[in-house]
Chains A and B, each alone.
Chain A
Amino acid sequence: MIDGFNFAYLDEATKRMIRRTILKAICIPGYQCPFGGREMPLAYGWGTGGIQVTASIIGMNDTLKVIDQGADDTTNAISIKNFFKKVCKIKTTEVTENATIIQTRHRIPEKKLSEHQILVYQVPQPEPLRRLEPKEQETRKLHAYEEYALMHVKLYEEISHYGSVIKTYAYPVRTNRRYITDPSPTPKFDNPKMDFMEALQLFGAGRERRIYAIPPYTSVKSLDFEDHPFEIQTWDERCDICGSNNSYLDEIIVNDKGEKKFICSDTNYCEKNIKT
């Protein structure tokens, strides 16, 4: 369509195949559906899974926002955005509420998402049980038969060795009371936002060729013990730029003396907060 590219880069047959996988994923919340992932014009680990999902669902009237570590202006976010500008000629935005599709790595925007939006995650490792059980055939059985004791053994181990669960990102959740799902690699701070989110959440893992989904208004619970309940990160500091005390803060070192400042990781949220 444009300079020898089909709209959104992928050919229509591939997009249909990916859409079928997405539909299946939505029907079985949290279940990792295999798909015939394509080679993309960038390396694995740079969001090829997310890009294929976005390319399959994007239309001419969509407005795209891309974030990396919560920021719209990082190299990776900008190059993905430029890619879609080039192959779709669509509008892009940094304003969370103006986007119809938000592709992300690491963060969920602070601003509450709506039914009119889709959040696409770039996922490096979709299998939450992988580090506990290396065999793919076995992890599939563990999911199929809901044999999830191992996951709690992991939490047991962390509490026993460190006094609390130390995992701060890719913190495992149970989706729709059924499949254990990896929200990777978002910080656990964002886990509560996934629970009954109004927006559709789609997860694409390029290297592992898996797509999974959390439909709107679906229960997403972080795993824990009743005497060691799940907790999100908190900070004593406020954002140095906007003064926010309830957003996810990044720690930055500001001079050679090692002096530290804290600023919002969600740059669009931070800008809005200064204005109001």
Chain B
Amino acid sequence: MIIKDKILEVKNLTHYYGEQVGCEDISFDLYQGEILGIVGESGSGKSTLLKCLSGQISPSQGIINFCIDQNQPLQDLCKISEQKKRALMRKEWGIVQQNPRDGLRLRVSAGGNIAERIINEEIKNYSNIRHKALDWMDKTEMEKSRIDDFPLNFSGGMQQRLQISKILSSNPKLVYMDEPTGGLDVSVQAKLLDTITIIVRDLNVSMIIVSHDLAVVKFLTDKLLVMKSGMVVESGLTDRVLDDPQHSYTQLLTSSILQV
């Protein structure tokens, strides 16, 4: 048996917006290379959980321990400096926004967008940076000839591929995606998910992906959290949860798609 490294440990994570519960008492572990899905109806706290995990908001309570260095114990995210957190965001984490425009610089070319995360690592050589950017466009099945075009001239699906290229180009340990195919046509969604699956498996990167689409989750993830009203009502291996749901809410969710 291969013993994988634990890269994330979440304990009793809770976030309130004033009186309003965002998410409540959430605990789970994530190991290197694992893909975790989060499903649940709109307003169930999926985005709140993801924002807490990726340092975009500070949780009201609970602990998030992250592996910054493999040779050291996990570190409490709430206790590290802003500088360190920003460095993690630029390198070790990738946050793929649902709306690709939120994750891209629209007045910078496709190549420049990808270059930014590469330059953080290696700023000396223009040709190397450009080759790496082209490589990433290739991996995400973009037309390499469009490297100097601006994101605004790309279709929604291409913008999302560009955002994913940009995020992955720094070889992050952990990628967060919040409904990455949300705003796209169904046919475009399917193709994009294929690409995401292939790359993510290939890179052995860990990922947490939010989706309300159970078909996506079944296809892509290893483990699953089912959320309702801010709480996790069921969790486990994806196949187990979907094939043999225990909680009545999960049963309701699965009955609606798995018959199709």
Contact surface of A with B, Cβ cutoff 8 Å: 141, 144-145, 147, 149-150, 152-153, 155-157, 159-161, 225-228
Contacts and interface: CB of A to CB of B under 8 A. Distances in A.
Contacts of B201: none
Contacts of B126: 155-156, 159, 225, 227-228
A145 B119 contact: no
Given A147-B86, A147-B90, A153-B108, A161 B148 contact: yes
B83 A156 contact: no
Nearest to B133: A156
B119 A156 contact: yes
Contacts, number: 55
A66 B173 CA distance: 56
Contact of A153 (B82, B116, B127, B130): B116
Contact of A227 (B105, B125, B147): B125
Task: List the 9 shortest-distance A-B pairs measured between CB atoms, nearest first.
Answer: A225-B126, A149-B119, A152-B119, A145-B83, A226-B124, A149-B120, A157-B112, A156-B115, A153-B116
A143 B126 CA distance: 23
16 contacts: A141-B82, A141-B86, A145-B87, A149-B90, A149-B119, A152-B123, A153-B115, A153-B119, A156-B115, A159-B126, A160-B112, A161-B109, A225-B123, A226-B124, A227-B126, A228-B126
A160 B129 CA distance: 11
B111 interface: yes
Nearest to A149: B119
A50 B124 CA distance: 35
A162 to B, nearest CB: 11
Interface in B86-118: 86-87, 90, 105, 108-109, 111-112, 115-117
A140 to B, nearest CB: 12
Interface string B62-87: 00000000000000000000110011
Given A147-B90, A149-B120, A156-B112, 15 more contacts: A141-B86, A144-B83, A145-B87, A152-B123, A153-B112, A153-B119, A157-B112, A160-B111, A160-B112, A160-B130, A160-B148, A225-B123, A227-B126, A227-B127, A228-B126
A107 B47 CA distance: 53
Contacts of B127: 227
Interface string B140-171: 00000001100000000000000000000000
Contacts of A160: 109, 111-112, 130, 147-148
A157 B109 contact: yes
Interface of B, secondary structure class, is: helix
Contacts of B116: 149-150, 153
A44 B54 CA distance: 44
A128 B111 CA distance: 22
Contacts of B90: 147, 149
B239 to A, nearest CB: 41
A4 B1 CA distance: 89
B86 A156 contact: no
A144 B116 CA distance: 18
A157 B151 CA distance: 14
Nearest to B105: A153
A141 B85 CA distance: 13
A160 B86 CA distance: 28
A188 B145 CA distance: 32
A161 B126 CA distance: 13
Nearest to B119: A149
B130 A225 contact: no
Nearest to A225: B126
A120 to B, nearest CB: 32
B129 A156 contact: yes
B131 to A, nearest CB: 11
A225 B130 CA distance: 12
B135 to A, nearest CB: 16
Contacts of A141: 82, 86
A150 B105 CA distance: 11
Contacts of A149: 90, 116-117, 119-120, 123
